Amino acid sequence: MYLVVPGKMKVLIFNGAVERTENSTAKQLSRYLETVLVKLGVETRVFDISDYDIPVFEVPMTPVPESVIQMNQIFREADVHIWLSPLYHGGMTGAMKNCLDWMEYSSKESVPYLSGKVLGLVCWAHGVQAIQGITAMDAVARALRAWTAPLSIPIQRAELYDDRGNICQKYKERFDLLIQLLLVGPKGTEQKE
């Protein structure tokens, strides 16, 4: 399907939703994307915000909580990120934004924040305003010195699933295209390290 060398690239799926149920949209999207990426031979990790104890961002906070140190390491080790969030009052979830604020912990590193990382953005809403969440995530990604893919996926929640409750073909095709852009670029050539 795509030209990917196994083990060469690390992808992080960042689930910014705070839902804990296994059938939530966030969990289903995370599982679907993880399955596709693993089949492609890509090292994949899901960072589900509800599984980490990330405190409210505070400056200065000493000592820095271990969960924040671990989160920074996970985010900075990945080459590519896919960020997932439901639309909450015109943007991403507050918990997701709070987590990303903690990237400030890396500000003194030789390559701070998410410098040079490539991100895919996905947001869903019950109406047609999911692009607002994409716009909010894009602004934060740029502030963290990351590059966003030229394709994002705003989802109208009512259209996401087929009659059997699976992700519909239309969105599977969009996810495939996003993955192609993130992993191999727009011309079908592998991204350089």
**Mean pLDDT of all residues in 168-177:** 96
Q: How far is CA 74 from each of CA 13, 36, 47, rounded to the nearest angstrom?
A: 11, 20, 8
Residue 192 has pLDDT above 80, yes or no: no
Residue 59 has pLDDT above 60, yes or no: yes
Q: Do 15 and 75 touch, CB atoms closer than 8 A?
A: no
Radius of gyration of the chain from Cα atoms? Answer: 16
Residue 59 is given by DSSP the state S
Question: How high is the pLDDT of residue 3?
Answer: 47
Largest separation between any pair of C-alpha atoms in the chain? 51
pTM: 0.91
* CA-CA-CA-CA torsion sign (29, 30, 36, 42): positive
For the stretch 85-108, pLDDT in tens is 999 999 999 999 999 999 999 999
pLDDT category at 142 given cuts 50, 70, 90 is very high
For the ranges 5-14, 64-73, 100-109, 119-128, the lowest mean pLDDT is seen at: 5-14
Q: Do 101 and 139 touch, CB atoms closer than 8 A?
A: no
Amino acid at 118: V
